[in-house]
Every structure is written in C-alpha cells, then in structure tokens.
Structure 1
C-alpha cells in the first residue's frame, strides 16, 4: 500500500524496501536448465539462418529500469523521454542537464518568476544598505592592541547585523521560487506546456505549509548550532573558547547532515500535498541510504552556481567601482568605502542577473533529485510515463503493476 498521496499514483510501491515491486533477474533453476539443440549456427553468425515457414512472434522486450518496457537490444535499453529527462534512474550530468533544459525550454515562465523575485529582493536590499544598515566602523591602524580588538569586534557585529536582513530576504526569495518552479519542473518532466497562471493556481494552496517548512528547516539548523556552542559560552575563558570551537564544528556537521536529510521535503510538500512534518519524514525516507550521493550532487550544484554567480557579478562589480570613484578611492586609501547610488545600482543589476539564473538551476536539481529517488525506490518512471501518455504504458502494458479492482 502506498503512503504517498498527490503526485504518487496508486501503482507506486513503497520506498521502505528499495526496488519492491520491481522485477528482479530470475536466477538459474538448477536441473531445469534449457537443453540446447544439436544443430547450432556457425560460429560468428548472430542471426539464425533463414528457414521456410511463417515467422514466429517477435520477442517480448525485457523489463528494464523500474520494470518498464523500455526496449530491447544488446546495450542499455532506451528509456522514454517525454520531457527534459529520460524516465529512468538519472546520473549527475542528466540531473544538471535537466535543470538547465527546463530553464531553456520554459524560459518565459522561469525568467518571469526569477527576474520578478530577484528585482524585488535586490531593490529592498539596496534600500536597506543605503538607509538602514550600519556601516562597519573603521579600524585605526595606530590604535593599541586592546582598541584594535574592540574595533574588530564592532566590525564583526556590524557585519552580522547587516547579514540578517540579507538572509531573511534570501529565505523569502527561496520560498517564492520553490513554490512556483517546483510545478514548472514537474511539468517539464512530462513534456507538458506550462504558463505562469497555471503554476500559480497549483501552488497557491500549498503556500502556507511551504512557508512553515521554509522557516522550520533553517531554525532547526540554527538551534543545533546554538546547542553546540552554548556550553562553551557558559564556561567562558580560554577553555570555553575551545569548547565553542569544538561544539561549533560538531554542530555544523550535524546541521549539514540534517539539511541534506530534509532537502527533498520541499518537493514532497508541493507535489505530494504532504504536511510540514510529514514532508520532513518523507524526505528522510527517500534520502536514507543515498545521503552521500545527494550531498555530493547538492555540493556540486552549489559550487557550479557560485562559479556562475562570480562570472556574472564580477564584471558588474568592477564596473561599479570604476563608475563610483569615491568608493574606489576610499578602498585604495584603506578606509571603509561609502558607496553611492551608481555602485549600488550597477552591482544590483549584476546580482539580479546572477540570481535569475541560479534560482532555477538550484530548484531544478532539488526537484529532479526527488524524482530520481522515487524512480529508484518506487518505480515512479512507470507512473510518469503513463501520465505523459507514452505508448505501451497504459493498464495491461508489460510491467504494469497498477492494482485493479
């Protein structure tokens, strides 16, 4: 019995036992092995010699990935590809290519979402930087060691204060982009057209639980880190500093483990209509046994998007420094630069372009990882092929495991 409502169709099998319901290779049957005819074709002849009489029925294709009839032949069987990915277990390159293909295929809808979100977020962040957030204090090189230490502490405090609004805006952007792009990517897997009004209509009922999940997962990570460093803060002195370091490292490792474990919860919540806690349990169930693989793919995606962001934003940053002469002169003089509107606008344009490209790639990889895990564990490829209308995947087709009443 299936525990996955929503996107999970009745024919899916549970993910507790990987491959449950999936045809497995039949072992040899010992003494009942077939007896070969004494008349064999000559060596090197792969096809049987021509013989008179009617030809027999064509052989039935052997079931392949997830039990579906994906073709025969001597090599890897061809999987149907109604959309941006083939319906079989995916490799790392195919997941990344699927995310980029979604951006390329549905670029109007995807860029309509990401550009709007990026522009609004960057506009608010620019106003905060200009009028609200405190400037880092300047460090006096002639100050005494104690004064320099105090100035460094004040500078770190100002930096942390300036980081909090940026993190909150990033969470809001992630929330909106995840809500909309998840359905864009799910439709692109089936090869179906998608429009922004349709995506909004499907995403709107899930916004409240998605907001709760978007806030809960970072709070869990922050709470774990706080628990790790709290003993050292309470002890104080040099021993306390050592405890803070060790506790912080251990807590950071636990936080990364939890974030990867819950990384598929967003897709489960949106596509399976799960609740917040049920989505966390569902993600943990899908990630179980594949933690390192998913961690590696997410880390590779983060590095690639970081490289893309640097390639895009660095030219805009240099141009902004060149246009805003006061900020550049302060930087060379060793002072804390005070950037004007030209710098903020030009650098903001670069940040908007980078975000518009990074958001769909990150969201695409996460959703396709979810699809890949369900294909590997629950034969979701069969259900997707049926939903996409691929010939040979209706009721009664080879490999069909849909319960019938």
Structure 2
C-alpha cells in the first residue's frame, strides 16, 4: 500500500490545528481528488460503522437483505398489510353462484342470472311449466267469464257500439268481454301459481348458493310441502288489499256525505295513504315468500321472522326491488312489441279466441320474466339480508363444506 509520504505526485498534508494555536492554511477546505480527508490516518485500525436503516451490514453481500432493517421483514416472516383501502372486502368463499358474504347490487343481479345458468332444468323448466299450466287453465276459465262480461256490457255499452268512432278503435261488446274475462280468469290463476313458481326459484337459488344442484323432482317435492303456505300468503295479501281499499272507499264516501270539500280532500288523503301504506306493508313482507319456501317453520312464525328481517334494511330492500321492477318493465316493453302487434291484428278481426290466446302469451312472457329474474333477485336478497343480520354466511360455508364431501 502506498502511503501519502511515498506517493510521488501527492502533495504534503496540512498539519491539524493544535489546541490554542492558529489554524494553518488549507484547513477546512475539501480535499481534492486523490487526497485523504484532513485528520485521516490510513495506518490506524478501522472500526466498522453501525449499520444504517435500509443499508446492509458490514460484511453482507450486496443484494442480501439484512436482518432487522427498518420497514423490511426477514425471509420467511409474514409482513402484515400497512393500510386498508376504503371499500376493501376480504376474500370470501364462493362455492356457488355468489360469494358467501354480504352482497352488492351487481352481485345480486349476477347471482340471479347465475342461478338460471347453474340449474336451468329447475329455474327454466319447472317454473315455465308452472306458469304455462296456470295460464292455460286461466284461459279455459276465462271462457265462461267472457260470456258473463259480454252479457253484462251488452246493456251498458249499447251506445258505444253504435258510435262509429268507438267501433274504429275496437271498443265493442265482445272485445270488452274477452278483455275482462281473460284478465280475471288468467290473473286469478297466476295469483295462485306465481307464489309456487317463486318458491321453486327460491329453493333452487338457496341450493345454488352453496354449489349444489337439485333435481326437478326434489325441488317440486320441497315446494309441494309448503305450497299451501305460499298460496295462503298470496290470498291473505290480496284480502288485506281488498279490506284496506274498502275502508278507504267507506271513509271517502262518509266525508262526501258530510261535505263535498271534505270528500275531495279525503280523496287525495286516501290516495296518499294507499300509496305510502301499501309500499310500506309490501316491503315489510317482501321476504316472506322465499322464507316460507326455504324455511321449515310454521306459517305465522315464518311471516313474523321475515317481517323482522326487513327492520333496519327497509330502504335497501325497497330500492333494490323498485330498480329491478323498472329494469323488468323496460325489458318487458321491448319483448311485448311482437305480442302487441299480434293482439292488434286479432282486435281488428274481432277474433275472440285469438285475442284470448294473445292475452295468454302476454301473461306467459310477463309472468315468466317476473319469476325468473325478480324471483331470483328476491331470493338472493333474502339470503343477503340473513347474512347481514344473522350471520347466515357461516352456516352456508359449513353446508358447502359438507356438500363437497
């Protein structure tokens, strides 16, 4: 090693300042290239400096992580996340059509379509059979009702039939009879059959959530055990609407008997009460149908439990249902265009049988879409609400683990 004294081209080093003396020339200036710093003795033994944070220790090969460095973990050790992203959701098991955790709106819709793809034999086949059979029986039932309505409208609409303008628009005695007869007959059967189809959809969705596919016979057997509960709930709901409507009409009639102004005010108050009260009551019992189909409890106990499920989640349940209904109405308008053209042809020709058939096709299309998509969303909304309020996701994970074995 060449020392500063033996280096031929290296100038002499300045002498360090002595205590009490003056500072020599050149002290404090930065050393030039090839010079040692002032006060540095290359012959003295060197002591390694303490490792700095983020730099490897003395003797550590470059590129090798040093132990105990700040912000780094040793090899094989777990490094926890430093922060949570807003809206972050931990990964959840997804043995079936949806992840087993509280669901978002997109996951509800995706799960409704996924339920149809996962088990089309039940969701498409069995529900379609229920709706078609109900519409067929309703169409047959509408024949005597058509005759009754035609005779009823014979005297009431005698002047309408004599008006050429009304005839051009298709308002005839036979057309009105077929219209009201089909609406009453087919509507009554659909009122009884739709809860059964919804129950089939709820049972299939509840099994598809854990990745299990049930057969058509199993789905029908399970729904058949709860059929009277589902039909009874539908009839009870209809009875409640009729009673409420009769009470509002009686109140308005009483107000008109007292004063005309009070009667007019009563009409607006009755309409507001009907809308607000009807929406509130409908939302609170919306989850009762899937609960009656899936659960095995008694009728009143299950309805009361479904009522409690919507407590605290009223606006979420109502918003999702209204949005789904709007989407279905838009799709229904697009799909019903060919059916409407067919109905217009039969109305011009005054073909009663063809008009009844066209009404039946319309009911099949609208009822089938309502059962498939709206029924699937309602069933998933029931499961989602239970996961949020009762921790159903833990039970579903256990059921999925058993189903995999």
TM over 0.5: yes
Q: Residue 117 of structure 1 contacts residue 173 of structure 1 at CA under 8 Å; is this kept in 2?
A: yes
Give the structure 2 partner of residue 296 of structure 1.
319
Task: Please give the alpha-carbon distance, in whole angstroms, between the structure 2 residues aligned to 1:203 and 1:124.
Answer: 20
**What are the residue-to-residue correspondences of 1:38-49 with 2, within 5 Å?**
41=54
Gap change, CA 1:121 and 1:342, over 3 Å in 2: same
| Separation of aligned partners in 2, 1:41 and 1:215 | 74
The Cα shift of 1:218 comes to 2.8
Tell me which of 322, 337, 349 is aligned to 2:361: 349
8 Å Cα contact 1:233/1:244 also seen in 2:
no
| Residue number among 257, 270, 278 corresponding to 1:247 in the alignment | 270
Gaps of 5+ in 1: 1-37, 43-47, 65-71, 144-150, 330-337, 395-405
Contact preservation (8 Å) 2:283, 2:317: yes
2:283 to 257, 260, 265: 260
Q: CA RMSD in A?
A: 3.8
Pick aligned residue for 2:65 from 27, 42, 50: 50
Distance 1:320 1:162 in 2: 13
* Greater RCO (CA < 8 Å, at least 6 residues apart): 1
Picking from 190, 198, 208, the partner of 2:210 is: 190
1:287 pairs with 2:310? yes
- Give the match for residue 400 of structure 1: none
Deviates more, 1:263-272 or 1:177-186: 263-272
- How many angstroms apart in 2 are the aligned matches of 1:117 and 1:385? 32
Single out whichever of 89-98 and 291-300 deviates more from structure 2: 89-98
Retained in 2: the 8 A contact 1:95–1:365? yes
For 2:98, the equivalent position in structure 1 comes to 85
Cα distance in 2 for partners of 1:138, 1:243 equals: 34
Structure 1 Cα separation of the partners of residues 54 and 220 of structure 2: 63
- In structure 2, runs of 5+ residues without a counterpart are 1-50, 56-62, 69-73, 164-170
Name which of 319, 336, 348 aligns with 2:342: 319
2:134 — aligned with what? 121
1:286 and 1:374 in contact (8 A); partners too: yes
TM-score where L is the length of structure 2:
0.68
> Per the alignment, in what secondary structure is the counterpart of residue 76 of structure 1?
coil
- Looking at structure 1, the residues matched to 216 and 377 of structure 2 have their Cα atoms a distance apart, in angstroms, of 20
Q: For 2:116 and 2:225, locate their aligned partners in 1 and report how far apart those are by CA, in whole Å.
A: 24
**Structure number with bigger Rg:** 2
Does the CA-based 8 Å contact 1:229-1:245 persist in structure 2?
A: no
* Mapped partners of 1:59, 1:189: distance in 2: 34
Residues 50-97 of structure 1: per-residue CA shift (max 9 Å, x gap): 3479844547999x9xxxxxxx9x953222211111111111221122
Alignment of 1:93-172 (within 5 A): 93-133=106-146, 134-135=149-150, 137=157, 140=160, 163-172=183-192
Which residue in the other structure is 1:229 paired with?
249
Q: How many residues align?
A: 322
Which residue of 2 is the match for residue 217 of structure 1?
237
C-alpha distance after superposition, 1:279-307 (max 9, x if no partner): 22212211111111111111112122222
